[in-house]
Structure 1
Amino acid sequence: MRPHRPGSRSALAALLVVSAAACGGGPGAPAGGSGVGDPYFPKAGNGGYDVRHYALDLAYDPRAHRLTGTAVITARAAEDLSALNLDLEGLDVEEVTVDGAAARWSRTGQELTVRPREAVRGTFRVTVRYAGAPVTVTDPDGSEEGWLRTADGALALGQPVGSTAWFPGNHHPSDKATYSLAVTVPEGVRAVSNGEPAGEERKGDRTTYRWRTGEPMASYLATLAVGRYDVRRTTTAGGLPVYTAVDPEQAEASRASLARLPEVLAWAERTFGPYPFSSAGVIVERPEDAGYALETQSRPVFPGAPDTGLLVHEIAHQWYGDSVTPRTWRDMWLNEGFATYAEWLWREEHGGDTAQRTFDALYAGGYVPDAGAEEELWSFPPAEPPDAAHLSAAPVYGRGAMVLHKVRQTVGDDAFRDLLRGWARAHRHGNADTGDFTAFVERSAPDRDFAGIWEDWLYGAGRPERP
């Protein structure tokens, strides 16, 4: 979950969480070429190969603000590649090898072009040694990602392209891979990442923390948090490991909401199907360290203590966005519409407004948190944001959720629950786009007509005439 513009997360959340009182894989690209043709980030990703695994060996000194790294990227090429591109922002490249042999390379902007001695085909391995001061990336919507410096360390966030700031790779959601990280940091801070902890090793005044992610993950969902944390390891009643890392300043404020994490996970499994990863948890930073929450895989990041609604939202993303990942950034509503509707379902089942009441309030414009918010909700269809600056705008969240509610009205409650679970199951650990979703819905209920929903609510301009 990201804000449409800096500082607006609370206003956007207010628009989407309406109170009862208010109611009265991807694109193609030339083999080895830069970019995969994403409609909003044309230089993101690279053509001609599929990354299978990232092995990152990193060291970071917060006081010096210096990152050193060795990235070993195991990939597979479907055809001969005499050159290939990786995405890397800012950091200095020191050496590149392909299958152990030195390779020529060059830099142009975020593109690192690698020319192996001999063309590669099938499985190959690229090793990049690099170092420098990692950069913060400013997105088209004005928010910040990449490498964010904090008072006691750093926080790496990647949506949509910030992961280019700390490791080279094929940085587009259509290329998912497994990960292993070894992160060395000075005494007094620790390193937290996705997946499961895989050991710690102390040498002198430095400790290396190891992490592994065994399920496929898009690079924008990778995170690395360096700092002081209160760490807690537990398991759910079903045996799922849970790892939480909370900034000590947020520990007391977070205690009550994080105590509900097992309950939220259990509810989500009943609603969406089996949890898609081998561990769960959260990272809670101080509000000034991150301006928004993000669904980083298996361990979402929060800017301060989350309320229950925000916790539900980011946990729902583990199914919708993390396991079922958009094929291009145009399909962002498949992340945010589903996670927003999860909040509606949670409230409906826990003594709050029904989803219908929330839908009606949004349609009526009965609750407008700031001037122009109602107009913003209808400013473009959720499946067609006008540009990269609007990928996290209100229509992607609110109208996206309204599309799902219209589907629910059409098929009925029981069939809709089956649909939620079936969609997560059909594309588990894969990629999907809007066309995949509409086809899936139509196959799930072949006797129902969804043409009006797609035309008016998913792709239609402006406010539909009837709710």
Structure 2
Amino acid sequence: MRHRMIIPGAVAASLLLAVPASAAEPSPGTPGVGDPYYPEYGNGGYDVSHYDLRLTYQPKTDALQGTATLLATATQDLSRFNLDFALDVSEIRVNGKKAKFATSGAHELEVTPAKPLAKGDKATVVVRYKGVPSKVVVNGFTSWHRTPDGGVAANEPEAAWWWFPSNDHPSDKASYDVSVSVPDGTQAISNGTLQSQTSRAGWTRYNWRSRAPQATYLATLAVGRFDITKDRTDSGLPVINAYSKDLGEHDGAARASVERTAEITEWLEGYFGKYPFDAMGGYVPNTDTTYALETQTRPFYSPDDFADGSNTSVVVHEMAHQWYGDSVSLKGWKDIWINEGFARYSQWLWSEDQGEGTAQELADYAYASHPANESFWKVKPGDPGPDNQFHRAVYDRGAMAVQALRNKVGDKAFFKILKGWPQQHAGGNANVGDFTAYAEKVSGKPLASLFDTWLFQPTKPEAPAGPRFAGKAVPKQPKSWKQIQSVTHAH
């Protein structure tokens, strides 16, 4: 029982000043991390270091049930905390004891542990749940793709709500163990390395592990009938690719592209440095989506990516993201240019390597293709706003900004920046300001004005992206242009 003592005002004031901050009453964590683009995404008060997901999925009914175990650390004295999740929860335990829970908003799960957590406390959070993901619509959309033989979780900026509870923001990265039981004859694909595969009583369990820090939207799950190919790189890394058995006429082009992942990754290492993860590959499910996504170590590709034949350019884009976006993740969603501008530019470098148009020619053509009064130039790649986060300007004007940087600092400094940046922030998070400061440090040149012109001004820059185009007419379209333009992201 707590007793209340009456203390004279002056004495009370002096005692209050003497009370250490840790003695303050625990308070709830915020229902979002404060990202201005998505105020309710992520949660305050804790950091997750590991997700352990043990799932069972029935493709015929799209029924998913599972137990998620989150290892977290309180970053404040915490009376309550939120998880982002949209399926039905039956029980939550915190450090072994049952916790109270309630839902709020579109995807908030409020958890009240039996005992408050002190700042710095370790917490083991166990969530038991089930649901039919394809029937869950949040804010008018779904990130779960039902397929004829199963389902796929792959979308940006969110996908986790439909298959596991999380702190759903890229600023809180964690390692993962994903264990999925599916009916025999069906495969389960996820990130990282396949640790084991066991069968029992008509069901097969696949155990996947992602050791490196991984953002929640980069975690993926695909269940269906796949043909899986396995190999190893010259350096010994496992390469696992998967293709739906129902790709039909897209099958050959998909394989001719995705099977070159290891080769393309080796080529990208020449620009970005050592590949940052312990596995690689890609998968192509039978979905009706029209985008690809850089899900960590194992990008998701749509059949549509290969509708016109083989498409190595999309593989280059998604594998470039393994450095720019996955290993080095954005601090906030407005920093999307660091992901997409450089992934697009990697396609320009690949085009140059393949003799289908140089990066300079592509920059010139992109610049000339959009008149000054076009809305394209009103989108600011450095802060595009949530409605324009995946606008073509973020990709193309973003890549023009990269070419402008190259022209400003020269090739020697430029390629040093390109390779050094992913090493500088490996496994972490960064923003546009961080990149600007790094580029200035490496090049020794002031670059704030250049980045402001290309990334933050809602007008067409007066000077073109490169020195060789006078701006009087649209130059000849590079051979690679149309295929490069086919690559954009969700949602």
Q: Using structure 2 for the length normalisation, give the TM-score.
A: 0.84
What CA distance in whole angstroms lies between the structure 1 residues aligned with 2:446 and 2:28? Answer: 41
What CA distance in whole angstroms lies between the structure 1 residues aligned with 2:122 and 2:446? Answer: 46
Q: State the 1:138 CA deviation.
A: 7.0
Residue aligning to 1:17: none
Residue aligning to 2:93: 97
Q: 1:38 to 1:136 in 2, by over 3 A?
A: farther
Q: Do the aligned partners of 1:52 and 1:177 also contact (CA within 8 Å) in 2?
A: yes
Structure 1: any 5+ residue segments left out of the alignment? 1-29
Q: Answer with 184-193 or 30-39: which moved more.
A: 30-39
Greater Rg by CA:
2
The residue correspondences of 1:67-78 to structure 2 (distance < 5 A) are: 67-78=64-75
- Going by fraction, where is strand more abundant, 1 or 2? 1
Residue aligning to 2:280: 280
Q: State the 1:212 CA deviation.
A: 0.6
Q: State the 1:137 CA deviation.
A: 7.1
Q: Do residues 234 (structure 1) and 231 (structure 2) align?
A: yes
SS in 1 for 2:55: strand
The code of the aligned residue for 2:361 comes to R
Q: Do residues 458 (structure 1) and 422 (structure 2) align?
A: no
Q: Do the aligned partners of 2:330 and 2:430 also contact (CA within 8 Å) in 1?
A: yes
Q: Do residues 66 (structure 1) and 63 (structure 2) align?
A: yes
Q: 1:71 to 1:419 in 2, by over 3 A?
A: same
- Out of 431, 434, 443, the residue aligned to residue 432 of structure 2 is 434
Q: 1:403 to 1:291 in 2, by over 3 A?
A: same
Q: State the 1:373 CA deviation.
A: 12
Structure 2: any 5+ residue segments left out of the alignment? 1-26, 465-491
What CA distance in whole angstroms lies between the structure 2 residues aligned with 1:442 and 1:139? Answer: 42
Q: Do the aligned partners of 1:324 and 1:427 also contact (CA within 8 Å) in 2?
A: yes
The runs of at least 4 consecutive aligned structure 1 residues that moved more than 3 Å come to 135-140
The code of the aligned residue for 1:195 comes to G
The code of the aligned residue for 1:402 comes to M
SS in 1 for 2:75: strand
The residue correspondences of 1:7-86 to structure 2 (distance < 5 A) are: 32-86=29-83
What CA distance in whole angstroms lies between the structure 2 residues aligned with 1:77 and 1:38? Answer: 20
The residue correspondences of 1:363-442 to structure 2 (distance < 5 A) are: 363-365=367-369, 375-386=374-385, 388-442=386-440
The residue correspondences of 1:46-445 to structure 2 (distance < 5 A) are: 46-89=43-86, 91-109=87-105, 110-121=107-118, 122-135=121-134, 145-250=142-247, 251-286=251-286, 288=288, 290-304=289-303, 305=306, 307-365=311-369, 375-386=374-385, 388-445=386-443
Q: State the 1:32 CA deviation.
A: 1.2
Q: State the 1:440 CA deviation.
A: 0.9
Q: Do the aligned partners of 2:146 and 2:287 also contact (CA within 8 Å) in 1?
A: no
What CA distance in whole angstroms lies between the structure 1 residues aligned with 2:373 and 2:142? Answer: 28
What CA distance in whole angstroms lies between the structure 1 residues aligned with 2:160 and 2:372? Answer: 31
What CA distance in whole angstroms lies between the structure 2 residues aligned with 1:429 and 1:117? Answer: 34
CA RMSD between the two structures: 1.9
Q: State the 1:462 CA deviation.
A: 1.3
Q: Do the aligned partners of 2:262 and 2:281 also contact (CA within 8 Å) in 1?
A: no
What CA distance in whole angstroms lies between the structure 1 residues aligned with 2:402 and 2:137? Answer: 31
Q: Do the aligned partners of 2:148 and 2:286 also contact (CA within 8 Å) in 1?
A: no
Residue aligning to 1:15: none
Q: How many residues align?
A: 427
SS in 2 for 1:200: strand
Q: 1:189 to 1:418 in 2, by over 3 A?
A: same
SS in 1 for 2:76: strand
Q: Do the aligned partners of 2:335 and 2:432 also contact (CA within 8 Å) in 1?
A: yes
The code of the aligned residue for 1:266 comes to E
Q: Deviations over 1:190-222 (max 9, x none)?
A: 100000001112111111111010000000001
Q: State the 1:451 CA deviation.
A: 3.0
The code of the aligned residue for 1:260 comes to R
Q: Do the aligned partners of 2:372 and 2:459 also contact (CA within 8 Å) in 1?
A: no
Q: Do the aligned partners of 2:145 and 2:287 also contact (CA within 8 Å) in 1?
A: no
